[in-house]
Amino acid sequence: MTKVDRRVLKSQTAIKKAILELMVEKNFDDITIRDISDRANVHRGTIYLHYMDKYDLLDKIIEEHISNLRELCHSASDMTFKEGNYVWFEYFADNHLFFSTMLNTKSAAYFRSRFLGLVVEEYKAEVDVTEGKNQGIHEDVILQFFGAAIVGAVEWWFKNGMPVPPRDMAEQTGILLDRNF
């Protein structure tokens, strides 16, 4: 694997942070490449060197976080829901700007849909409709119900300024999932 130049990483980090900060201030459709370059303190050409346009930039940021969350799920596969949720909520807290922006702005419907899809995909292996509490309930109903509950809890958490520490959110949502899966 080739090592990425620190200047490239610094520029990409500044660009990603700039678009997220701008999305807090105004609608995504109103953000220009000039706005992003001014906020990131980089030349417009630097943005085009790494991204086709602002949509490509946002897609790549979203894909990066979805991929990171997927990796966290796989690394936590032998944990309880409570333990696994702790890994996620720590990641959410560490990436507060991204998640609060993506879950609190009008431009975030695409991310919410991708996030819900990831949650549903990752919980699919946990659903058993052949016996126990969930016997006879359609698998997709269970997955959509709990997926929407997790996404909704995360949205609530960010919209309210993370009033509960990450460990407590993980523990409490994990308990609820453990009770039902």
Extents of the domains making up the chain: 1-51, 54-180
Helix/strand number for the chain, H first, E second: 9, 0
Q: What is the DSSP letter of 42?
A: S
Structure tokens at 95: 């990436």
Write down the pLDDT at residue 127.
81
Residue 114, Cβ density class (10 Å: 0-12 exposed, 13-18 middle, ≥19 buried): middle
Give the C-alpha separation, 151 to 122, whole Å.
Answer: 13
Write down the pLDDT at residue 107.
65
Write down the pLDDT at residue 1.
59
Find the farthest-apart pair of alpha carbons in the chain and give their distance in angstroms, rounded: 60
Around Cβ 124, how many Cβ atoms within 10 Å? 13
* Superfamily of segment(s) 1-51: Homeodomain-like (1.10.10.60)
Nearest by Cα to 39 from 55, 58, 19: 19
Span 56-99, pLDDT tens digits = 999 999 999 999 999 998 888 888 888 888 899 999 999 999 99
Nearest by Cα to 43 from 14, 64, 20: 14
Could you list the mean pLDDT of each consecutive 10-residue stretch along the chain, which spans 181 residues? 80 96 91 96 95 95 95 86 87 93 80 92 84 85 93 94 94 88 74
What is the domain class of 54-180 according to CATH?
mainly alpha
138: CB partners within 8 A, 6+ apart: 129
CA 161 and chain centroid, separation: 16
